[in-house]
Amino acid sequence: MEKRYKIVYSGQLQTNATLDETARSMSEVFRIPLNKVETLLGTEKSKILKNDLSYEKAKKYHDKLTQIGLQVRLLEIPTQNVQPPSTTPVPANDKNNPLQSKNTRGMISPATYLENKTDTTNPYAPPKSKLSIAREKQFKLVSGWSRFFTWLIDHVFYFILSALIGALLGVLFGHKIMIIFSTRLTKYLFSFSIIIGYYVLFEWTTGRTLGKLIIGTKVVNESGEKPSVGQILGRTLSRFIPFEALTFFGSESRGLHDKLSKTYVVKNR
């Protein structure tokens, strides 16, 4: 009898893989709706993805899924555990029979049962990361009031920093700097550059501004890791949208600058 194989997803992604990129790639390659792929990858449970395959087909699926970013195993199906399809009809109202199927007139093959059965064992079992799955519902987002006090503290530091830099420029350039700052445009550009420099420098290098450091929070990307400089710059520029500072008082405790840059502010555990 020809040996048959199955592909088992461990419930974890490859170390260098991100959830969004992996989900999009899997959806495109296997033509599966993106929401279904995200549900599958977000469960963190081991599951049989393909069952009852020849070795050649199983190897192709294994290599492709590994390339996409999933941790998968190619396992041989023990012949002694595979029973031939039952020829005895199963009563349609037998709710206790795990082989019950609505589409086979009371009959189902063991292969179909194995295909839909979740494998509860996980041989990989790596240590859980602080944010193992980068989805909003799994992040422990900080409250809107915590975000507000963080914003307030950052603005105090911003005004102090502006005053110190202004004083330093006055010492270095004297009356000339007063002439330069006499117009509204130059004052606005000065404030704009200070805000950009403050947020980009602190959030990109440490993930925390001084306000976040005091409150005990940090900014992360969708993978729970350090955001890119582009994401930090996008967050910072979004802060100039009128009344943007009030948008994190919604039910999600995420500001508009968080959503636009695909970042999250979480407890710094």
Residue 154 lies in a domain: yes
Q: Which letter, b or e, does each residue of 122-160 get, where b requires 16 or more Cβ atoms within 10 Å of its Cβ?
A: beeeeeeeebbbbeeeebebbebebbeebbebbeeebee
In a domain, 219, yes or no: yes
Same domain for 117 and 202, yes or no, is no
Domain identity same for 122 and 177: no
Instruction: Give dist(CA 69, CA 205) in Å, integer.
Output: 28
CA distance 177 to 170: 6
Looking at the structure, tell me whether residues 57 and 142 fall in a common domain.
no
Report pLDDT for 36.
Answer: 82
Domain count, the chain: 2
What six digits make up the tokens of 201? 């420098």
Q: Are residues 55 and 84 in the same domain?
A: yes
Q: How far apart are CA 250 and CA 217, in angstroms?
A: 18
Beta bridge partners of 25: none
How far apart, in whole angstroms, are the C-alpha atoms of residue 225 and residue 232?
A: 13
Whether residues 147 and 105 share a domain: the answer is: no
Note whether 173 and 262 are same-domain residues: yes
Domain extent at residue 184: 138-267
Query: End of a domain among 105, 126, 147?
Result: 126
In a domain, 181, yes or no: yes
Residue with tokens 């117009």: 183
Tell me the C-alpha distance between 195 and 159, whole Å.
10
Is residue 12 located within the same domain as residue 110? yes
Which of 82, 98, 126 delimits the end of a domain?
126
Contacts within 8 Å (CB) and 24+ apart, 240-246: 240/192, 245/148, 245/151
127 vs 14: CA distance, rounded Å = 13
Q: What is the pLDDT of residue 3?
A: 86
What is the pLDDT tens value at each position of the chain, 269 positions in all?
688 889 888 888 887 788 888 888 888 888 888 888 878 887 777 888 888 888 888 888 888 888 888 888 888 888 765 455 555 554 555 555 544 444 444 444 444 444 454 444 444 444 444 334 444 445 677 888 888 899 899 989 888 988 888 888 888 887 777 777 778 888 888 888 888 989 999 999 999 999 999 999 999 988 888 899 999 999 999 988 888 888 888 766 788 898 899 998 888 76
Closest CA to 37 of 65, 75, 56, 7: 65
In a domain, residue 51? The reply is: yes
